Structure 1
Amino acid sequence: MRKNKPRIHITVNSVRALLPSPPNTKTFDWDDEVRGFGCYRTSGGDVIFVYQYRMPYMSARRARIGVWGEMTPSQAREIAREWAVMRRKGVDPVEERRRMAQEDKAARDLIMSTYVTEYLARREREGRPVAKLHGQIMVRDVAGLMPDMRLDKMTDDDVEKWLDQLQTRSKSAKRYGLIYLKVLLNDAKARGRIDKSPADRFKVPDQQERDRVLSPFEIQRVIEACRDMHDQHGEVLECLLRTMRRKEEVAAMSWEEIDPETWVWTIPAERTKTKTRYAMELPAQVIAILERQQPDPMKRTGWVFSHDGTFSISTSTQAKDALDAHIHRRMELAFAAGQKPRRFEQWNFHDFRTTAATHLGEEPLNVRDDIIELCLAHSRSKDEVSKYQRAEKRSMVKVAFQKWNAFLDDLMERPDAWPGGRNMPRIGKGDLKRRRLELRQGWIKKVRPLRTGEVRGGRRNR
């Protein structure tokens, strides 16, 4: 500090009288009340408030407090007074201010909902976008269930409680939620945003293969219900069963993926779970369904299944709800026709693949296991791929699909099929819920995640 200039009490009037500092220098006025508190006017005319101090065994430091106009001299003095108290306690005000700024930044950037949004956007910018399904899990099950959780404050107990929430919905939700929480926390750790991941001590459960196989009786009711829906959702769901594909692959099918001469459907790698291109010759039964979507070959462009051509159709929860309600009605009609009462066990769309694979491997179809795997488009090791057998196996895959669809057609030609008749009207909206709930009595209830702003049990999800 300049000793030849007397200290003054810094006020509004003294600040107004302060002359601009010469270029490349700073001419200070120092306060007579708080030692180290001062101000100077820049050559441009701004008045800057500062606090100058020295920590033990360190050279003097000068910290900027603020600018006159944004704060008054009295306000700046109070900040300097606080910093003087910190210095006397051995706390460096500059370092503390830096620490608090980092804390504020972390409070904003390391909030789970913010971090997930930034992570997905960053992957998009880097040309490595996260798959749609994986992004949905991050948004719905990770950020959706703990939106305000800070990554650097997360504990083992927090992870455990969160996993318990997912477990109430399903084992699969718990497994995939943990996978993508680990992805996010490992990303934060690799970028130096957190020191360790509290998810490290939790082991991802082994994937449990579903063993739900629909019986011939159940397959009949499913196909009948698909037809009874009288809409594109029913057609998509029947295609799922007949092609053994995943629901996202069928729902987003486009005419450009289908060869109009051979009816070979080629699913690009980016639309398959294994990230490998897959081609299959569509069975005649599936071709008939597709032709109904657009009878005019000259207009076959864009999505195959779409309400307005803008978006592909969605195999949503509502579609499953409607299908279950129509299954319930057909089961009632089967019982009324003299068939023994049965229970339709809990199931989902992925069970179509298990059902098809199981029936193909048993009597009377007897398809080889390796051909069934090719029908399912499961990933294969290099040792399993042979260019010399490719033509033979493609023809055998085609035959397997023909056998499977013929098997389904035979089921629907049996006398116990179509109880109540082939042409049933669609169930009215007022009856859908009742029938759906009656079919699902005793099923394990899946808890839907809270939407933003929704209240469940007195707690609002933010």
Structure 2
Amino acid sequence: MPRLSKRAIDAAKPRAKQWFLWDDSLKGFGLVILPSGKKSFILQYRTMTTRSRRLTIGPYGALTPAEARRMASELIVQVRNGHDPLMTRQGLRSAPTINDLLDKYWSDHVMVHNAKATQLHHKRIITKILRPHFGAMKVTELTRPDVAELHAKLKHTPRQANLVLSVLSKALNLAEVWGLRPELSNPVRLIQRYKEVERDRFLSDEELSRLGATLDEAERFGLPWVIKAGQRTRKHLPKEHNDRRTPVSKPAIFAVRLLLHTGARVSEILTTEWSHIDFPNRTIALPSRKGDGRKPHPASDTVMKLLTQLYEKRRSNYILPRDADATRHITREVVQNAWQRIREHAQIEDIRLHDLRHTVGTYAAQAGGNAFLISHLLRHRNVTITNRYVNTDLDPIRVLSELIGQRLLEGLAKRQALESRELEADGNVIQFPGRRPFPS
């Protein structure tokens, strides 16, 4: 049996059936020649259980005989150490991919534990970012440089970049729980998040006044029609269009008022039913924490009056039903479209619906509410989230600064008065208590 050399391999001709050419210097190392003429290096070995295996090392041409022999020698060492290279290779081929992990993460975790709004955010991140970048990779192959590279590509949108890391990190933590990765191998760990600029926008007193006037106007008369056509098109419109008003959805107006007076999230108000309202005890059942079940929470007089107005005209289980289908509540899009018109007319274009919740939290802090009370008012999951309102409130800080300034001014004035009395003394030095004696 000849040694596998380039000359011997080139001389081997295809036959009607595949045949083998074995190397005489390395047991099990050989070449298979197919009827098509294709030639590949192979290794035939027996496992610890004496099972015979035949492993393809690689095609001739892509590998030289010397390279193939070196690889075969390494594989033989693995076999002697009790490993089965063929089964290892087959296991890697059938190993779950990131796509498989994301499928399981979605069905077993997101759909079970996350609120609908969070599900939408996760779906967008998974579909638009994670699957295109990592979907085909094996779960065990994902490394920290891979994740860091993706994070760097998203640096111009730091909040989104950090959200991507959060979603991926959770999925990979669960991969360890499910036995798809070794423990403590999460590659997202140690990657530094980008600094995010918190949005602390809330309504000022003047803006709140304009909003109130706009809501009243929208409810009673509708809002002026805003002509968004270009100048060329606008000049052809009838003049009466200048005074035209269009109605604003009444349920949407009530939704805005309730959002402002409760500090609730949009989805919480839209899905509220009459069974959640307790008029005798003046409570409204809202989720105690984001995504949790509803529990009664105290409602102000204003909120109860708004609910009473709605209750007098109720026609659905929902407090804010659709006009066309009372069995369903109004959609976020309806409220968002109405809010777009309301905020433009009130000249508060940069205020989002969620900023009404920020306004409630900020006003609560300015009224002297501590983090614990505000956390319960807004139903935050932890007090850390509430600190954004308590720590950024300027009114108590301003009051404290004024008190300190007043004391300093009084102290300075007293010092100046005493020094004036020194100068007025008839050439005599007055020694004040607590001072060191003047040198003679």
- TM-score tier by shorter-chain length is 0.5 to 0.7
Q: Deviations over 1:26-53 (max 9, x none)?
A: xxxxx986899xxxxxxxxxxxxxx994
- For residue 147 of structure 1, give the secondary structure of its aligned residue in structure 2: helix
Instruction: Give 2:142's aligned residue.
Output: 154
Across the two proteins, how many residue pairs are aligned to each other? 301
Identify the match of residue 253 of structure 1 among 272, 283, 301: 272
> 1 CA distance for matches of 2:157 and 2:208?
26
> 1 CA distance for matches of 2:264 and 2:351?
16
- For residue 89 of structure 1, give the secondary structure of its aligned residue in structure 2: helix
Q: Report how far residue 207 of structure 1 moved.
A: 7.5
In structure 2, relative to structure 1, the CA distance for the partners of 1:235 and 1:52 (3 Å cut) is: same
Equivalences for residues 389-404 of structure 1 within 5 A: none
Amino acid at match of 1:61: R
Instruction: Give 1:89's aligned residue.
Output: 72
Instruction: Give 2:343's aligned residue.
Output: 327
| Structure-1-length-normalised TM-score | 0.52
Q: Report how far residue 219 of structure 1 moved.
A: 2.3
> 2 CA distance for matches of 1:115 and 1:201?
22
Identify the match of residue 51 of structure 2 among 61, 75, 79: 61
- For residue 279 of structure 1, give the secondary structure of its aligned residue in structure 2: strand
User: Does the CA-based 8 Å contact 2:321-2:329 persist in structure 1?
Assistant: yes
> 2 CA distance for matches of 1:246 and 1:135?
16
- For residue 296 of structure 2, give the secondary structure of its aligned residue in structure 1: strand
Q: Report how far residue 249 of structure 1 moved.
A: 1.6
Instruction: Give 1:122's aligned residue.
Output: 108
In structure 2, relative to structure 1, the CA distance for the partners of 1:322 and 1:101 (3 Å cut) is: farther
Q: Report how far residue 236 of structure 1 moved.
A: 1.7
Identity %: 19
Larger Rg: 2
Q: Report how far residue 166 of structure 1 moved.
A: 4.9
> 1 CA distance for matches of 2:276 and 2:153?
40
Q: Deviations over 1:60-92 (max 9, x none)?
A: 424599xxxxxxxxxxxxx9xxxxx98993548
User: Does the CA-based 8 Å contact 2:144-2:188 persist in structure 1?
Assistant: yes
Runs of 5+ unmatched residues, structure 2: 1-14, 23-27, 29-41, 60-64, 224-247, 384-440
| Structure-2-length-normalised TM-score | 0.54
Give me the CA root mean square deviation. 4.5
| 2:151 is the counterpart of 1:163 | yes
> 2 CA distance for matches of 1:222 and 1:142?
38
> 2 CA distance for matches of 1:319 and 1:161?
39
| 2:97 is the counterpart of 1:110 | yes
Identify the match of residue 376 of structure 1 among 375, 378, 382: 378
In structure 2, relative to structure 1, the CA distance for the partners of 1:324 and 1:220 (3 Å cut) is: farther
Instruction: Give 2:163's aligned residue.
Output: 176
Q: Deviations over 1:131-166 (max 9, x none)?
A: 333333332124421213134343434433433555
| 2:219 is the counterpart of 1:232 | no
- For residue 242 of structure 1, give the secondary structure of its aligned residue in structure 2: helix
User: Does the CA-based 8 Å contact 1:290-1:304 persist in structure 2?
Assistant: no
Q: Report how far residue 243 of structure 1 moved.
A: 0.8
| 2:342 is the counterpart of 1:355 | no
User: Does the CA-based 8 Å contact 1:156-1:199 persist in structure 2?
Assistant: yes
User: Does the CA-based 8 Å contact 2:290-2:379 persist in structure 1?
Assistant: no
